[in-house]
Copies of this chain bind each other. A is one copy, B any other.
Amino acid sequence: MSYKRSFLMEERLADNRQRILKAARALVAEGGFNHASIAAVAASAGMSAGAIYRYFPSKSALFVEVLTSAIDHEIAILQAIVQGEGDVTARLRACVESFANRALEGPYLAYAFIAEPAEQEVDEARLLGRIRFGEVFKSLLIEGIEKREFPAQSIDIGAACIVGAFTEALVRPIAPRAKRDGRAELVEGIVAFCLRAVGAKIF
């Protein structure tokens, strides 16, 4: 019998895989999904188009992973905030602020991840991501209501609405070409909207 991947080989492969993901992410960040053909990704990752298929079964699969891991990262950040200290209102505010700020930082990337159309599969992943974001807010809502910071209300709907609200408010300034001033005001406006919406008392 024959061939067992050496450790070094193993590493190189893993490395290539990462390089592909990174290249794909970068291309999306730079010009949206359109910009990111397999050929472009391959070139940018320093390998041939065919090679990509040793690492990912299809373009969709690749981009689903790109999207999913970006979302994972985002969720982790939010989760950390949720589990942090402070009253629920403050944490909700921090979540929205944090998300919005990062989105405004990398416009194209955020646009692609929030809104840009892509393959069926990628879209499903995005919907899933939205649902996961919703879960985060759901947990905040539950806690907020429990602690009487917020009035009783429909949790699921509220969570979805929050995600939709800041997402929509972000997409317009984010969408390619849009002006990008008044960032602070934008973020503050979104936060204020969300806090009022859940009935936080500060307002």
Interface residues of A (CB under 8 A from B): 116-118, 123, 127, 130-131, 151, 153-154, 156-158, 160-169, 171-172, 175, 185-186, 189-190, 192-194, 196-199, 203
Contact = CB atoms under 8 A, between A and B. Distances in A.
Contact of A161 (B127, B151, B160, B169): B169
A193 B158 CA distance: 7
A28 B165 CA distance: 26
25 contacts: A116-B117, A117-B123, A130-B168, A131-B172, A153-B189, A153-B196, A154-B185, A154-B189, A157-B190, A157-B193, A160-B165, A160-B169, A161-B166, A161-B190, A161-B193, A161-B194, A163-B168, A164-B171, A165-B165, A165-B168, A193-B197, A194-B197, A196-B196, A196-B197, A197-B197
Contacts of A166: 161, 164
A164 to B, nearest CB: 2
Please indicate which of the listed interface residues A166, A171, A190, A197 has the most CB atoms of chain B within 10 Å of its own CB. Answer: A197
Contact of A164 (B123, B169, B203): B169
A65 B181 CA distance: 33
Given A154-B185, A157-B190, 15 more contacts: A117-B117, A127-B172, A156-B189, A157-B189, A157-B193, A158-B189, A161-B190, A161-B193, A164-B166, A164-B169, A164-B171, A168-B168, A196-B198, A197-B197, A199-B203
